[in-house]
Amino acid sequence: MNVLVTGAAGFIGSHFAEKLASQGHRVIGIDNFSNYYSRELKEKNARDLESKGIELIKFDLCDDGLSDIIQDEIHYIFHFAGQPGISVKSTFESYFQNNFIATNKLLNFALEQKELKLFVNLSTSSVYGKYATLAEDEETKPVSDYGVTKLAAEQLVLSKSRSNLLKACSLRLFSVYGPRERPDKLFTKLIDCAINDKKFPLFEGSTSHIRSFTFVGDIVEGILSVIGKEDICDGQIFNIGSENEHTTQEGIDNIEKITGKKIEFEHLPKRPGDQLRTSANIHKARKLLGYEPKTTFYEGLEKQTAWFKED
């Protein structure tokens, strides 16, 4: 099958593209190589993908002309691309353009694909708001521009399903970590600070935040589980993550234990838009997709630390 993966040079997208290729699918990756974080890291991911036979196209989904570049029929679209995270440096306009407008243009491309089986939108637990503990049919209350624009994009995708224009679903991912995690994300930064004797920027109150930290390999398996289940997934939303909850302090303690180093902190005021608790309710994904994450928190952090040291 021909599978299009947007954001393919990024953290989760690169792992997913590799897994698809290992299963014999033809994978076409798209990434705009934005300067939101280390271009060097993305280019390294890109080289790894290309060495595995994955075609990677530099393209900004906010632009027109995707149909001119990709002329083969696409059977699945997995949409990872977007403006990630919660950052005071990111404007609402950048979130809106990269999360909503880009999704709309990708949907226009998808509607041209006569053999498309399923459009899979990758969303986030941030759509739930400060307390992401709910089932998929409960009320969303995002508190960040990131969460608001991701929720809008999700509804845009599902509107095409409701209008019977294409089959589509959305997967809400919970606190993903592991090898290739962005440099600005929690555990890559913690590991870097521990190993290289840097001060970690610690936002007030964040050590007590509770998360369903989910290893990237378990996330990839969850996303893969929709393939072949188009009729079941059409129009649906699924939470994908670990049911096990851990505090940020537990993560700090584990990194210090794994590295054998004590982390120093730079204490900062509270960050607006932060979630206080995420707890993945995966009853629906378990029942309909057979989803079952397996990697323990400590095992995942060991793998991420090993990757950081090798990289």
The domain spans of the chain are 2-173+215-241
Among candidates 232, 231, 1, which has minimal Cα distance to 113?
1
Half-sphere exposure of 196 (CA within 13 A, CB side): 12
Q: Which CATH class is domain 2-173+215-241?
A: alpha beta
Contact 32, 60 (CB under 8 A): yes
Query: Which letter does DSSP use for residue 101 in this model?
Result: I
Tens of pLDDT along 168-184?
999 999 999 999 999 88
CA distance 158 to 166: 9
Mean pLDDT across the chain, nearest whole number? Answer: 95
Question: pLDDT at position 87, please?
Answer: 65
> Is residue 146 flagged as an active site residue?
yes
State the average pLDDT over residues 191-218: 95
Which CA distances in Å does 140 have to 79, 133, 143, 148, 168? 21, 10, 10, 10, 20
What pLDDT is attached to residue 110? 98
**224: nearest Cα among 3, 48, 70, 49:** 3
Q: How far apart are CA 4 and CA 228, in angstroms?
A: 16
Answer yes or no: is pLDDT of 156 > 70: yes
Q: Is the pLDDT of residue 88 over 70?
A: no
Annotated active-site residue in 37, 95, 146, 177: 146
